[in-house]
Homo-oligomer: A and B are copies of this chain.
Amino acid sequence: MPLSPDQQAEIDAQRSETQQTLRATAPGMEKHLYTAHPVLDHGFVRVIDYMGDDAAICQAARVSYGRGTKSVSNDEGLIRYLMRHWHSTPFEMCEIKLHVKLPVFVARQWIRHRTANVNEYSARYSILDREFYIPAPDALAAQSTTNNQGRGAALEGEEADRVLRLLTEDAMRCYDHYEAMISDEGQQGLARELARMNLPANIYTQWYWKVDLHNLLHFLRLRADAHAQYEIRVYADAICDIVADWVPAAYKAFADYRMGGATLSSTALDCVRRMLKGEEVTQENSGMSKGEWREFEGVIDV
């Protein structure tokens, strides 16, 4: 369970105080505010704040004076049009602020998305908690034999046991030594900014992460994708559920045009046209490499 009783009490206090506001409010989002959605063994995603809703996207696209909603169906059509034609700026008019607790090796992938604001818990200033990610048995995957950057089946038996034991023991020992080094009992105590170097990458960190909806959807397209590493994908999945409640029309368009869609190359489109005319197209006469052809087959499902 990722939260201490104190933390849960603070969250409950936040959820108990309702304010009056003239701002646009997304009913589906209010229910998520502050609540910790558990991810992995000790992580979570919490919505701290949000700006805008589906109507705000349309209002900005129209640079209008009023709330921007002509009618809901009208707005949905406009949102689909904007998504289809890569008009990204209206989606930038919505913003979300999350509090995320996540293992360091996940944080290192996540931070590569630069168009966002971040405040991370400082291990120069503070002492990290003894919390490490240890994979559940079904996430303990072998190296893929076909893809250098991928996973195969879950490890089993003795090998799985040994890996779990090593991960756990090393984490505990490193943390014990971290504590021993920074302790000021009977010694000076090593600077925190140095002692943290002894902690392995499965230790949990946390940050506030603020991002606009356009850049968030870009993040989700890459990180909720089947090829993303499992440990970041579960965060992306949790955020997808939140976004679906926040801006339902935008999320639906995103699911259709981005998550469920695919970009076909000029060569691939040409193959589709030839196939629709009845021609027999094979990898050999497709103009694609074997790798491309395999991916193409996956998309058109033949």
Give residues in A with beta carbon < 8 Å to B: 3, 6-7, 10-11, 13-15, 17-25, 30, 33-34, 48-52, 56, 59-61, 63-67, 77, 80-81, 84, 86, 89-90, 92-93, 95, 97, 99, 103-105, 108, 111-112, 114-115, 117-122, 124-126, 133, 135, 140-144, 148-153, 155-156, 159, 162-163, 166-167, 170-171, 173-174, 177, 180-182, 184, 187-194, 196-202, 206-208, 210, 212, 222, 229, 255-257, 259-269, 272-273, 275-276, 289, 291-292, 295, 299-302
Contact = CB atoms under 8 A, between A and B. Distances in A.
Contacts of A263: 257, 261-264
Contacts of A10: 64-67
Nearest to A12: B66
Given A33-B23, A170-B177, A49 B60 contact: no
B256 A266 contact: yes
B257 A261 contact: no
Contact of A93 (B89, B117, B299): B117
Nearest to A90: B119
A197 B292 contact: no
Given A60-B208, A190-B143, A180 B196 contact: no
B202 A200 contact: no
- Integer count of this chain's copies in the complex: 4
Contacts of A289: 77, 80
Nearest to A261: B265
Given A24-B49, A181-B166, A191-B143, A89 B63 contact: no
Given A149-B124, A206-B63, A273-B301, A190 B22 contact: no
Contact of A189 (B89, B104, B143, B260): B143
Nearest to A260: B266
Contact of A19 (B23, B111, B167, B193): B23
A19 to B, nearest CB: 4
- Which has the most chain B C-beta neighbours within 10 Å: A65, A187, A190, A262? A65
- Nearest 7 A/B pairs, CB to CB: A260-B266, A10-B66, A92-B117, A197-B202, A142-B188, A19-B25, A114-B114
